[in-house]
Amino acid sequence: MRKIPPVDLARQYAKIESEANQAVLEVLSSGRYINGPVVTQFEQEFSDYLNVLYTVSCGSGTAALYLALRALKIGPGDEVITSPFTFIATAEVITLTGATPVFIDIQAETFNLNPELLEAAITPRTRAIIPVHLYGQAVDMGRVMEIAERYKLYVIEDCAQATGAKWQGRKVGSFGDIGCFSFFPTKNLGGCGDGGAITTNNVSLAQTVKMLKEHGSNKRYSHEETGVNSRLDAVQAAILRIKLKYLDSYNQERYNIAQLYENLLSHLPGVILPKDHSSSGHVWNQYTVRVKDGLREELKTQLDLKGITSMVYYPIPLHLQPVYKKLGYLKDQLPIVEGVASEVLSLPMFPGLLPEEQKQIAYAVQESLDYSEILLS
């Protein structure tokens, strides 16, 4: 029986090996490792891909979110509304600026924050909303932008898991004041190390992020603000330039994999399959099912025993994390996300996953659920 990992990056690399090696070698022999032409070219190509005016690259998706908040001058006394169902980075950076994250409940069907709950969470201190396009599916950006405009709030899109995703035909990262991207290797557009970028149509925000990421400096050894050191290195930019050319085909492959999962698993009563609610804009960074009747852990264990590694993103919603105990959220306060967090299971999903492997996974899921049900009865 073949082992199946949640992600296999080596398969993707194998297909672009000679192109990627050559691009990396060119950077190595150029002697320009930080900033320089390759980074600038990547930024321009990324802007063109998303149809935005400016991309400013940086060291990670976390840094992109932090720089975005800093550029919008969000800090102590401010509140930022976001989803409790995301990677810690989304909220961590709010706290790092001195502002307070405010979590609202999600929609079980999309896993994204429920825009209908935004208005009730807005206070005189609210400055911004961070919608997170989780698992590759866009938040309802029509609704988010309408509310943000009405209340004069900034919107920072967390696009870390959704490069290339669309809301009604328009790419995420082009709706809000700033879009934030991660190029962590497992993302839809992933490098061979850490990397990130912000996107915007506002020249002054682009300039401010550029200044902040270079130690708060526009001019060498003159520092206007307390900044950070956060740069995309030229080797990563060279690899990302190549992968960007293939991003739409990678996302198409992810879509095909999701379709096959749907065909293979839709007859199983014990699992709820993910659906695309964004008018065909889902880019399937994850294929995440919901396992009913408290059987998630049992299913995961059974799959492990069969050599199939599935993942739980995320077992504890952020409002219940120890680090946010101080915010005073109570158990059951955000009931949808708390239920969903106990049900989600992400099955292997990556370009290069083979149909026969998906059949092996589907068979194992069915067998494991049958077994669990026998145990329960």
Ligand X SMILES: Cc1ncc(COP(=O)(O)O)c(C=O)c1O
Interface residue list for ligand X (CB under 6 A): 60-62, 86-87, 89-90, 132, 158, 160-161, 182, 184, 194, 196
- Residue for token digits 């992400």? 346
- 283, 252 Cβ separation under 8 angstroms: no
Q: Helices 234-265 and 37-50 sit at what angle, rounded to 10 degrees? A: 30
Question: In this complex, which beta carbon is closest to ligand X, that of residue 62 or of residue 288?
Answer: 62
To ligand X, the closest distance from the beta carbon of 128 in angstroms equals 15
| Residue whose beta carbon is closest to ligand X | 61
B/e letters for 365-374, b = 16+ CB within 10 Å, e = fewer, are bbebbeebee
Question: In this complex, which beta carbon is closest to ligand X, that of residue 190 or of residue 270?
Answer: 190
Sign of CA dihedral 209, 212, 214, 217: positive
Strands 287-291 and 344-347: antiparallel
Question: In this complex, which beta carbon is closest to ligand X, that of residue 199 or of residue 302?
Answer: 199
Question: In this complex, which beta carbon is closest to ligand X, that of residue 270 or of residue 274?
Answer: 274
To ligand X, the closest distance from the beta carbon of 189 in angstroms equals 11
To ligand X, the closest distance from the beta carbon of 19 in angstroms equals 24
To ligand X, the closest distance from the beta carbon of 157 in angstroms equals 10
To ligand X, the closest distance from the beta carbon of 152 in angstroms equals 25
- 130, 85 Cβ separation under 8 angstroms: no
DSSP string, 244-264: HHHHHHHHHHHHHHHHHHHHH
Report which DSSP code applies to 274: P
Cα–Cα distance for residue pair 331/115, rounded to 1 Å:
22
Query: What tokens appear for 227 in the block?
Result: 């900044």
Question: In this complex, which beta carbon is closest to ligand X, that of residue 166 or of residue 187?
Answer: 187
Amino acid at 48: D
Sign of CA dihedral 278, 281, 284, 285: negative
To ligand X, the closest distance from the beta carbon of 373 in angstroms equals 33
Which residue from 179, 122, 110 is spatially nearest to 149, judged by alpha carbons?
122
To ligand X, the closest distance from the beta carbon of 64 in angstroms equals 8
Question: In this complex, which beta carbon is closest to ligand X, that of residue 126 or of residue 161?
Answer: 161
To ligand X, the closest distance from the beta carbon of 26 in angstroms equals 25
- 58, 198 Cβ separation under 8 angstroms: yes
Cα–Cα distance for residue pair 129/360, rounded to 1 Å:
41
Helix (H) or strand (E) run with residue 199 in it: strand 196-200
Question: In this complex, which beta carbon is closest to ligand X, that of residue 80 or of residue 264?
Answer: 80
Question: In this complex, which beta carbon is closest to ligand X, that of residue 96 or of residue 260?
Answer: 96
